[in-house]
Amino acid sequence: MINIKNLLKGNIRQYGMIIALLFIVTMFQMLTGGILLVPQNVTNLIQQNSYILILSMGMMICIVAGAFDLSVGSIAAFVGSVAAVLSINWQINIGISIIASLVVGILIGIIQGYFIAYVKVPAFIVTLSGMLVFRGLTQVILAGRTLAPFPKSFKLFSTGFMPDYFNGNGIHLTTILVGVVVALLIILLQAFKRRKKSGLGISIPSMYVFILQSVTIFTIINLFTFWLARYKGLPMVLVLLFAMYIFYDFVTTRTVIGRHIYAMGGNEKAARLSGVRTNWVLFLAFVNMGFLSAVAGFIFAGRLDAATPKAGTGFELDAIAACYIGGASSSGGIGTILGVIIGGLVMGVLNNGMSIMGINVDWQLAIKGTVLLIAVVFDVYSKSKSQKG
């Protein structure tokens, strides 16, 4: 059995980031006079950072594989402009417009992935070129102007909310029910994993630790959904984020391609000698990044209700920062989807809290840069300490 001390010791980076997030939230809650955690602002926080969290999931896979993508912000802007032209100027069906936008993102990922994985052009050069190319094409498509507004149905996932099927009086009962169901499902899955590991003779946390974890999970999820229910309920983009988290967590932890990504990032030569198709793995990582950049593009355009030439500026830096703050290693081979989500929330709370306080944008950039440096230094220090040990 594993006790609490050993559990914390074995997951110190993950729990450390959770503690850091809680500290930052508490600090800004006090500094903003309680505004940060007002239900409406919590909803805004989710919607404002959804596209960064989406990009971060794809960026984490690239970083784990030993690369990164500087073009994601420009691709998001380009895809948003394509969607705007299709749905606003040409008045094409919204479903077709979104599918076409996603296909554009995938095609961009295929092109960049091919040059990186098979032509062996460094990812830095290819994606830096992509950043310039697609930023320029966005200007060309929009002719330097803002194109708006989008049809209402286009904004469903970016600004819409799950309907309340129970018509609660002043509180969104469907959201509360969803919270209870999700919490119970997570606890049941954890119980199933625990039983399976026990049957295989793998060391597991004690029953006391498991009960403590289950109660904590149930309490946190239901407090969160109750808080959202006090405003308009579950944002549709949160439902999308949860589905994407489940999918990418499964891919990275439970599939062959996931193991190959980590093996390649840990030691590409050894992975290749072990039979891993490293070129194919790297290619898929950038195709996936192109797809997620497209998703982030139409989510951002829908929230802004416009396609603008300056959309997506700095998205790549926020996504990379979220990965490193969330525990991804700068040398590859290490990182988790949960860590990336935590890192993205740290960045989001910093942005939102400082904006509420009226801190100058220049100081916001300086503070975020300092947080990123501290995260990378901690990663390097932890790695050197473990190697010495």
What are the tens digits of pLDDT across the range 346-367? 888 988 999 998 888 888 888 8
Distance CA 272, CA 277 (A): 6
> If pLDDT is split at 50, 70 and 90, which confidence band does 259 have?
very high
CA-based max dimension of the chain: 64
- Phi and psi of 307, rounded to 5°? -110, 125
> If pLDDT is split at 50, 70 and 90, which confidence band does 327 have?
confident
Query: What is the per-residue pLDDT for 388?
Result: 58
Domain total of the chain: 1
- Give the rounded percent of residues in the chain with a pLDDT score beyond 70: 93
> If pLDDT is split at 50, 70 and 90, which confidence band does 6 have?
low
Predicted confidence (pLDDT) at residue 5 exceeds the cutoff of 70: no
Q: Is 190 within the bounds of a domain?
A: no
Exposure of 159 in the CB half-sphere (CA atoms within 13 A): 14
Q: Is 279 within the bounds of a domain?
A: yes
Q: Is 168 within the bounds of a domain?
A: no
Query: What is the per-residue pLDDT for 187?
Result: 92
Predicted confidence (pLDDT) at residue 133 exceeds the cutoff of 70: yes
Exposure of 372 in the CB half-sphere (CA atoms within 13 A): 17
Whether the ω angle into residue 149 lies within 30 degrees of 0, i.e. cis, is yes
Distance CA 136, CA 123 (A): 20
Query: What is the per-residue pLDDT for 168?
Result: 73
Residue linked to tokens 């149905």: 153
Which range is least confidently modeled, 124-138, 291-305, 357-371?
357-371
Distance CA 201, CA 118 (A): 43
DSSP 3-state of 121? coil
Q: Is 182 within the bounds of a domain?
A: no
Predicted confidence (pLDDT) at residue 169 exceeds the cutoff of 80: no
pLDDT, mean of residues 107-132: 96
Query: What is the per-residue pLDDT for 9?
Result: 53
End-to-end C-alpha distance for the chain, whole angstroms: 24
pLDDT, mean of residues 161-183: 90
Give Rg (Cα) of the chain.
21
DSSP 3-state of 375? helix
Distance CA 166, CA 185 (A): 22
Predicted confidence (pLDDT) at residue 8 exceeds the cutoff of 60: no
More confident residue, 334 or 103: 103
CATH at 111? 1.10.3470
Q: Is 148 within the bounds of a domain?
A: yes
Q: Is 352 within the bounds of a domain?
A: yes
Distance CA 68, CA 97 (A): 28
Query: What DSSP character marks residue 170?
Result: S
pLDDT tens-digit map of 32-87: 988 999 999 999 999 999 999 999 999 999 999 989 999 999 999 999 999 999 99
Give ∠ CA 247-66-71 in degrees, rounded to 5.
75
Torsion-angle region of 154 (φ positive above 0: left; ψ -120 to 50: alpha; else: beta): alpha
The secondary element (H helix, E strand) that includes residue 64 is: helix 39-64
Query: What is the per-residue pLDDT for 14?
Result: 60
> If pLDDT is split at 50, 70 and 90, which confidence band does 368 have?
confident
Query: What is the per-residue pLDDT for 385?
Result: 62
pLDDT, mean of residues 158-174: 88
Predicted confidence (pLDDT) at residue 29 exceeds the cutoff of 70: yes
> What's the domain range around 278?
4-160+235-383
Residue 146 structure tokens: 């803002």
Distance CA 346, CA 367 (A): 12
pLDDT, mean of residues 152-169: 87
Q: Is 241 within the bounds of a domain?
A: yes
Q: Is 104 within the bounds of a domain?
A: yes
Residue type present at position 373: L
Query: What DSSP character marks residue 87?
Result: I
Query: What is the per-residue pLDDT for 297?
Result: 94
- Look over the chain and give the mean of its residue pLDDT values, rounded to a whole number: 88
- Cβ partners under 8 Å of residue 142, min gap 6: 81, 84, 307, 308, 309
Distance CA 325, CA 200 (A): 34
- Cβ partners under 8 Å of residue 204, min gap 6: 1, 2, 194, 197, 198, 210
pLDDT tens-digit map of 112-124: 999 999 999 999 9
- Phi and psi of 67, rounded to 5°? -140, -175
- Residue 153's nearest CA partner among 85, 88, 239, 75 is 88
Distance CA 58, CA 53 (A): 9
